[in-house]
Amino acid sequence: MDEPLRVALLAMAWLVGWWLFGRARTIASAGPDDPVVDISVIVPARDEEVSLPTLLDGLASQDRVASEIIVVDDGSRDETAAVASRHGARVLASEPVPDGWTGKAWALWQGANASRSELLVLLDADVEPTPALLGSVARAHAMHGGLVSVQPFHRMRRWWERASAFFNLVAVMSVGLGSPRRPRVIAAFGPVIVCRRDLYLAHGDAPKVRSAILEDVELARSVAAADVPVTTFAGGRVVAFRMYDRPARLVEGWAKNFASGARAVPPVRLALVVAWVTACLLSGGWIFGASLTAAIFFVAFATQCFVQLRQLGNFGVLSAVLYPLLAMVFVAVFVCSLLVTLRGEVTWKGRRIRLRAG
């Protein structure tokens, strides 16, 4: 392949990257005139004694307080239940996981059935809410209806956590959260999901939802199949999270998710995402050697990554400069994810989870 063609292909991929993710749609804070609704917060928790205090303290200081906070203890081997109780949550001990269910889907289903409010807010235990969270998601649901989900701002404290950079980027690109025109992509972000209780009870126990490793994606697909709208937002300044607190869990977490989630992305969009990631790898410099062209493309892709990543987490300039290395980490873990998917079984928090066939 001659140099003009390589230049043209990389330039096209760079432009595709901006189309896939230019500016993320962030959730807006609630206003004083927004309607007030009863909210039940449901938190599935397995071995989350470290994360829960931040979440529950944040929920206690909300501008619009929840009617109830239910922590479903999913067979924890630590002090999860005691920590939740000390922070004023209603603790529900999960029944044994039935055949055909994953642990998280079963915990959410029990919590939803035990709840009393019209509106449900489903939160992961590692979510770090600002006081505006519940008001903001209630406002978004009042405006859009159906199922609303939010991808929190990724707050990192250790250098190795930045290895998640391309996973964040690809997830946002795949669902069209940062595209200029909202595509027909059916997916949801599991850390923050908002919907009416009756809607969840109508779809939360669907066979594809209860057996999926990505129950959030399957819930969104089930809801959308019933012609109910699905809307996604970025957390911005309203809500953050710290995804994985140690390297092994980071690899394990992404590996169990990503290959399974790829099938929810339309083929054309998936092909464009693959092309962009490939261009990031090639633009690291070696494709042109030590040349001005190589330097131009390196700066162009690094700038693009910096602009995109700063909307999703506190990644910083170094993460953008190291984008070829972070793209390689993404590819390596994605290959692991494919192998795990083909094996048909994943391990997460000490529990073996069998993947649904197909």
Average pLDDT (187-192) is: 90
Q: Virtual CA dihedral for 22, 127, 192, 271, nearest 10 degrees?
A: 40
Q: Which helix (H) or strand (E) holds 129?
A: strand 127-129
d(CA 152, CA 159): 19
- pLDDT tens digit sequence for 197-227: 999 999 999 999 998 888 999 999 999 999 9
Q: Which helix (H) or strand (E) holds 41?
A: strand 39-45
Residues 171 and 330 sit within 8 Å (Cβ to Cβ): no
Q: Which helix (H) or strand (E) holds 344?
A: none
d(CA 196, CA 188): 15
Is the sign of the CA dihedral 222, 223, 227, 231 positive or negative? negative
Q: Which helix (H) or strand (E) holds 45?
A: strand 39-45
Partners of 348 in the beta sheet? 351
CA-based nearest residue to 108, from 118, 94, 98: 94
Tell me if residue 104 falls in helix, strand or coil. helix
- pLDDT tens digit sequence for 297-333: 999 999 999 999 999 999 999 999 999 999 999 998 8
- pLDDT tens digit sequence for 37-83: 899 999 999 999 999 999 999 999 999 999 999 999 999 999 999 99
Taking the model in full, what pTM does it have?
0.89
d(CA 339, CA 327): 19
Looking at residue 180, its pLDDT comes to 73
Assign residue 145 a region (left: φ > 0; alpha: ψ between -120 and 50; beta: otherwise).
left
CATH superfamily label, 39-245: Spore Coat Polysaccharide Biosynthesis Protein SpsA; Chain A (3.90.550.10)
The backbone torsions φ and ψ at residue 241, rounded to the nearest 5 degrees and listed phi first, read -160, 160
Residues 103 and 353 sit within 8 Å (Cβ to Cβ): yes
- pLDDT tens digit sequence for 73-131: 999 999 999 999 999 999 999 999 999 899 999 999 999 999 999 999 999 999 999 99
292: Cβ contacts below 8 Å, ≥ 6 apart: none
CA-based nearest residue to 24, from 237, 273, 275: 237
Report which residue type is found at 254.
Answer: W
The pLDDT confidence band at residue 35, using thresholds 50, 70 and 90, is confident
Query: Hey, what are 282's tokens?
Result: 């090639």
- pLDDT tens digit sequence for 128-173: 999 999 999 999 999 999 999 999 999 998 888 888 899 999 999 9
Q: Structural domain boundaries of the chain?
A: 3-22+263-354, 39-245
d(CA 275, CA 261): 18
| pLDDT surpasses 80 at 262 | no
In the chain, the percentage of residues whose pLDDT exceeds 70 is 88
Alpha-carbon distances of 177 from 29, 45, 105, 338, rounded to whole Å:
18, 27, 24, 24
